[in-house]
Structure 1
Amino acid sequence: MSQAPAPELGAILAAACRRAGLSADGAQLLSAGENHVYRLAGGAIARVSKPGQGQAAAREVFLGSWLNSNGVRAVRPYAALEVEQPVVVDGNPVTFWHDLGEHQPGTPREVAAALKQLHSLPVPGEMVAPVAPFVRLEERITAAAWLADGDRAWLLARLEELQEAWTGRPRGLPDSVIHGDAWAGNVVGTAEGVTFLDLERCTIGPPEWDLTSTACRVTSYSTLSAADYDDYCDAYGLDVTRWDGFDLFRDIRELRVTCYAVYRAQLDPTLRSLAATRVACLRGLNGPRPWHWEPLG
């Protein structure tokens, strides 16, 4: 994706750039989802978040600096600014980052090795919240007017069931710094080495939560081969699917992915058949795992 800012965000981006001493002229939209990410002239990336996400944006900036100072490569907050981050315009927090340049999704071995390093860090004493696996799920389900009533009721009941199970979840590895959304698109290969992107979900929690993201690519979605998963487990030193809490973590991950599809489909009707397929799979209407899910794009 490479296009100009959406009109409703153009003024916000321009105002934030002016306050930061940067220019929004020629800004190119790189991705639009939870946040809108733009490439600016001069080697900066701007990330425009939704209103109410100021605390999360400030935490991302802190973590970007903290991780790099502790030997873990991650996106770096843009240093040459005239104001502190985030810059808040009309309630929208905007953060600025150094452009990584050319990069590609991390291999399973690279993702696992990066996570092993991340999980070994000492826990910082500030700015990091405990993992919140159910954040925004209820809102996404209830806001999806296109969903059939039966599907909405099932998703809400499933959410309640998993929330209750989470409170009594099995304990595994000691809690650590975790990325929270550690798939290959967020752990990428760059000229400088493997680098973590998208620190929005970086929190304190069970390392197994990170490991389950890749395991689901084998057990749930069939997007990773058994050989590649063996590589992943070898690099980390653990196969999370053998842990007695895996089924719960897998089920929550599947619900999160499905609710994201439901949210995207509310905004883009062309995605509704893909989102409906995900809901049907969770409801047991499309046979056993692993399922085949087309990417949302």
Structure 2
Amino acid sequence: MSRTEESHALLVKACASAGLSAAGAEPIRIGENALWRLPSRIVARIARPGQAVAAARELAVARWLHDCEVPAVRPLDHLREPLEVDGHPVTFWHELPPHRSGGAADIAPLLRRLHELPVPAIPLGHLDPFVRLAARIDGAATLDDEQRQWLRNRLAALEAAWSGLPAGMPASVIHGDAWRGNVAVTPTTTYLLDFERTSLGPPEWDLTATAVGHGSFGSVSESEYAAFCKAYGTDVTSWGGYAVLRDIRELRVTCFALQHAAADPDHHRSEAHHRLACLRGERGPRPWGWTVVG
């Protein structure tokens, strides 16, 4: 059975429990989390096993943002908690109107509004920028022993650097995965999406995602980055701790690519190992022109 077929079987069970019809459902994305569009203008999100707490937090954050009048994707009102189907938490959301993915300047005003909000009475927890990295390094089947040890050493060095960051902006609620793919733009409204990593932490973490897109990956142009900084009101690259957050981001997306390379070596191995070579200083200076994996 393919991943899509397995995911569809979970969807059918979840919809039956929720009193919804899965007839005519279409896959939007089948990845670490699976998204399905139901004909009733509802989107079902099937999370990984063991993510029930995170799924409940996503629902709570989305409702809190709605109460604060921050445009965000909205869960169905009558399903207050995730459904659990064969160990997978499943949540249901209102489908957005027709939209396009946002750009760097689209996400900046939403991040500023988010960072300025009072901390809610939601158990958000604190940002862990290293979540699952050790497991991904250990499970990366395309690495040799020397490469794996280099990544372990890199992870340890960055964990130490994270604990000694210089002072920056006051801690706040942060999105946690604030790249432009998590923004949807309609003719009238720009929406925030995906609150899986929302937590308490340094606002600079959210800003670093776009800064790295510009300075490391080459996916955000000079003019787009200038518009992002202007819309938010600061340039995170001028902060003394930026290089640490940048390096953590680079390590995270490299380990993500290595995870995909292990599952599908023919398609992702070259990109994953190109990223690793860049981190090791073997591909010249930034930006490196990394391509999307996922």
CA distance in 2, matches of 1:273, 1:249: 25
CA distance in 2, matches of 1:41, 1:79: 18
Q: Which amino acid aligns with 2:122?
A: E
Q: Which amino acid aligns with 1:177?
A: V
Q: 191-200 or 92-101: which moved more?
A: 191-200
1:295 is matched with: 292
The Cα offsets for residues 182-229 of structure 1, whole Å up to 9 and x where unpaired, read as 111102212441111111011111000000000011210111111211
Is the CA contact 1:62–1:127 (under 8 Å) kept in the aligned structure 2?
Answer: no
The Cα offsets for residues 215-251 of structure 1, whole Å up to 9 and x where unpaired, read as 0112101111112111111111100000000000000
Aligned residue for 1:23, secondary structure, equals coil
CA shift, 1:10, in A, is 2.2
Aligned residue for 1:200, secondary structure, equals coil
Matched, 1:283 2:251: no
Q: How many residues align?
A: 292
CA shift, 1:5, in A, is 7.0
The Cα offsets for residues 106-157 of structure 1, whole Å up to 9 and x where unpaired, read as 2222211111111111101222111110111111111111222222111111
Is the CA contact 2:60–2:122 (under 8 Å) kept in the aligned structure 1?
Answer: no
Is the CA contact 1:258–1:279 (under 8 Å) kept in the aligned structure 2?
Answer: yes
Matched, 1:268 2:264: yes
TM-score (norm 1): 0.95
Is the CA contact 1:182–1:210 (under 8 Å) kept in the aligned structure 2?
Answer: yes
Matched, 1:258 2:254: yes
1:72 is matched with: 70
CA shift, 1:14, in A, is 1.0
Q: CA RMSD in A?
A: 1.4
Matched, 1:207 2:213: no
Matched, 1:156 2:149: no
Is the CA contact 1:5–1:28 (under 8 Å) kept in the aligned structure 2?
Answer: no
Aligned residue for 1:152, secondary structure, equals helix
Is the CA contact 1:186–1:197 (under 8 Å) kept in the aligned structure 2?
Answer: yes
Moved over 3 A (4+): none
Q: Which runs of 5+ in 2 are unaligned?
A: none
CA distance in 1, matches of 2:168, 2:177: 19
CA shift, 1:80, in A, is 4.5
Q: 59-68 or 150-159: which moved more?
A: 150-159
Question: How high is the sequence identity, in percent, across the aligned residues?
Answer: 50
Matched, 1:58 2:53: no
Q: Which amino acid aligns with 1:22?
A: L
Matched, 1:137 2:94: no
TM-score (norm 2): 0.95
CA distance in 1, matches of 2:141, 2:224: 39
